[in-house]
Amino acid sequence: MIRHAGSARVLRGIFQCLLGLGLSAGILPAHAQASFPAKPVHLLVPAPPGGAGDTSARAIARHMAQTLNQQVVVENKPGAAATIGFRSLASSAPDGYTIGLVPVAGTAIATVTYKDLPDIERDFTIVAGIADAPHMLVVPASLGIKDVKGLLALLKNRPDYYNYASQGAGSLSHIESAVFLAAAGVSATHVPYKGSSEAIPGLISGETSMMFDSVTSVLSHVRAGKLTALATAASSRVPQLPDVPTMAELGYDLKADNAFVLLAPANTPREAMQVLTEAVRKAVQSPEVIATLENTGIVAKFTAPDAFGTVISQEFALWPDLARKLVEPSR
């Protein structure tokens, strides 16, 4: 009996020592270990409220919170063609508690116009692809133009007289317009704004004459008769405006599905990544989120991390080359 009691005391001593050294986690049962997430997750959005990215993030965050049983807090960090939010995400702790929304084409373009950006493949880990937010060519209804043919006739008649709006110099909407105008052999003056929220009022008023912007940003104005949709830059016609042709249907090699991805900082633990990816999958594939996004012109589209790596490679092979022909590195 004395020998058994002594052995028990020795075993207790060893166990307490392991606890003190932090070595017991590997031998403790799974239910004794802290599960992820143990606190709110922050979702960074590199754009102001109301746009395609913000709309997608908030719809998905609400559903993720139910799955994770934790808050998913959306934080808007707009500015500098989404690079402020992009840099902030890269410098966040790689613990799974900070993830970020990234517009892939816009980020690819930003590598040309902004210096020393984080590397999307080296400095991040893919949580999942979540949606496409296709862009559309729109003009003020007051211009009286009903199709692309009519717009080109107007521009050819008065070279450089008309202008076009964009979300900012070096933005996807800027590059799209420049590519379209060059392909059509016409010219117009670029007027950059600080995002869609500033550009669209000027477009509606006739201050500018055309713009490529997300369906999310322009759809309500098209439905209200303030803007006229001439073509979509998506791979296929958007369900909300089925009569509007694609640029490809009109003979132009211009496609901007505008894919969005959720990323986490590199070296985020695999266990946390798996939990996040599964929560995103459930959100993006839920009827509630699909309906919310489609109502605003966004296509919910879950893509697993490995598969979305191919999307990133394709976009980074396309857009920077186009941007180099149109803009100079500025920052």
Dump pLDDT digits (tens) for 53-96: 888 999 999 999 999 999 999 999 987 778 899 999 999 999 99
User: What mean pLDDT do residues 178-185 have?
Assistant: 94
Sequence-distant (6+) residues with CB within 8 A of 166 are 173, 174, 177, 190, 191, 192, 193, 199, 211, 212
Name the 3-class secondary structure at 310.
Answer: helix
Dump pLDDT digits (tens) for 253-296: 899 999 999 999 999 999 999 999 999 999 999 999 999 999 88
Question: What is the distance between the alpha carbons of residues 223 and 255, in angstroms, rounded to a whole number?
Answer: 23
DSSP state of 8: H
Dump pLDDT digits (tens) for 237-251: 998 899 999 999 999
Q: Which residues of 196-207 are buried (b: 16+ CB within 10 A; e: fewer)?
A: bbebbebbbeee
Structure tokens at 60: 């998905």
Share of the chain above pLDDT 90, in %: 72
| CB distance 148 to 230 below 8 Å | yes
Question: What is the distance between the alpha carbons of residues 36 and 210, in angstroms, rounded to a whole number?
Answer: 47
Q: What is the pLDDT of residue 327?
A: 64
Nearest to 279 by CA among 132, 66, 101: 66
Dump pLDDT digits (tens) for 152-174: 999 999 998 999 999 888 889 99
| CB distance 262 to 63 below 8 Å | no
The helix/strand count (H/E) of the chain reads as 11, 11
Which residue in the block uniquely carries the two structure tokens 């202008």?
163
Q: What is the pLDDT of residue 34?
A: 59
CA 80 vs. chain centroid, Å, equals 15
CA 262 vs. chain centroid, Å, equals 7
Question: What is the distance between the alpha carbons of residues 262 and 277, in angstroms, rounded to a whole number?
Answer: 9
Report residue 1's pLDDT band, with 50, 70 and 90 as the boundaries.
Answer: very low
Structure tokens at 171: 């933005």
Instruction: Taking each helix axis as running N to C, give the angle between helix 305-324 and helix 172-184, from 0 to 180 degrees, rounded to the nearest 10.
Output: 60
DSSP state of 40: -
Question: What is the distance between the alpha carbons of residues 177 and 185, in angstroms, rounded to a whole number?
Answer: 12
> What is the average pLDDT value for the chain, to the nearest integer?
88
- CB count within 10 Å of CB 245 equals 16
Assess whether the previous peptide bond of 245 is cis (omega < 30° from 0). Answer: no
Question: What is the distance between the alpha carbons of residues 151 and 149, in angstroms, rounded to a whole number?
Answer: 5
Question: What is the distance between the alpha carbons of residues 283 and 289, in angstroms, rounded to a whole number?
Answer: 6
Dump pLDDT digits (tens) for 32-61: 345 999 999 999 999 888 778 888 999 999
User: What mean pLDDT do residues 120-124 have?
Assistant: 95
CA 177 vs. chain centroid, Å, equals 20
CA dihedral 171, 142, 237, 258 (to 10 degrees): 10
Q: Which residues of 162-181 are buried (b: 16+ CB within 10 A; e: fewer)?
A: bebbbbbbbbbbbbbbbbbb
What type of residue is 98?
T
User: What mean pLDDT do residues 8-19 have?
Assistant: 46
Question: What is the distance between the alpha carbons of residues 168 and 242, in angstroms, rounded to a whole number?
Answer: 28
Question: What is the distance between the alpha carbons of residues 247 and 231, in angstroms, rounded to a whole number?
Answer: 6
Q: What is the pLDDT of residue 19?
A: 45
